[in-house]
Amino acid sequence: MLRYRPSFATAFSASSRVVLPAATLLVWGAVAFSAVTWGLRWSATGNAPSNATTAAQALPDVDVSAAARSLGAAPVQAVAAPTLASRFQLQGVMAGGPDAGAALIAVDGKPAKPYRVGAVVADGMVLQSAQGRRVTLGAAIDGPQALVLELPAKK
């Protein structure tokens, strides 16, 4: 006895009854979407404002400092430029006469370095003299003194 076996052609034709209309509907949907999109683009005029310009015109002016205060921000104070004396910290002196001696000076919070009398300490400031617990700095070795540094009092 022979049994009936469906062939590939009959199985394909049965599934094509569902697939073919679905594919057709999908293609025509894409065509309709494309036509509507292009139609809207062509119908738009250049006189209509875009969303970006409308949104920019609708925003009110905001007082930034008032908004910051309402959020708890502390008022910002301008940071004063460091004074000349605050840049230098004298940590040691070795006196050796009128034109001799050395000093241990920290500049701008960096580690202290030794400087001899006549050496440039920083930004054109020259160590002019080292006497006892004090040193003088100026623009030149024999020029007027611009700054006098003293060792802190002993504890």
Contact 130, 94 (CB under 8 A): yes
Total number of domains in the chain: 2
* pTM attached to this predicted model: 0.47
Residues 89 and 35 grouped into a single domain: no
Q: Is residue 56 part of a domain?
A: no
* Cβ neighbours for 130, distance < 8 A, ≥ 6 positions apart: 93, 94, 95, 96, 100, 101, 102, 103, 117
Question: Range of 37's domain?
Answer: 9-41
Quick one: pLDDT at residue 54?
Answer: 56
Q: Which ranges of the chain does DSSP label H, i.e. alpha helix? A: 8-43, 51-58, 64-70, 84-87
Is the pLDDT confidence value at 59 over 60? yes
Q: Is residue 132 part of a domain?
A: yes
Q: What is the mean pLDDT of residues 8-23?
A: 71
Quick one: pLDDT at residue 82?
Answer: 64
For residues 138 and 127, give the distance between their C-alpha atoms in angstroms, rounded to a whole number.
7
Q: Is residue 95 part of a domain?
A: yes
Residues 143 and 92 grouped into a single domain: yes
How high does pLDDT run on average in the chain?
81
Residue 58, φ and ψ in degrees, nearest 5: -80, -15
Q: Is residue 111 part of a domain?
A: yes
Is the pLDDT confidence value at 12 over 60? no
Is the pLDDT confidence value at 26 over 90? yes
Q: Is residue 57 part of a domain?
A: no
Q: Is residue 122 part of a domain?
A: yes
Residues 93 and 36 grouped into a single domain: no
Return the percentage of the chain with pLDDT > 90, whole number: 29
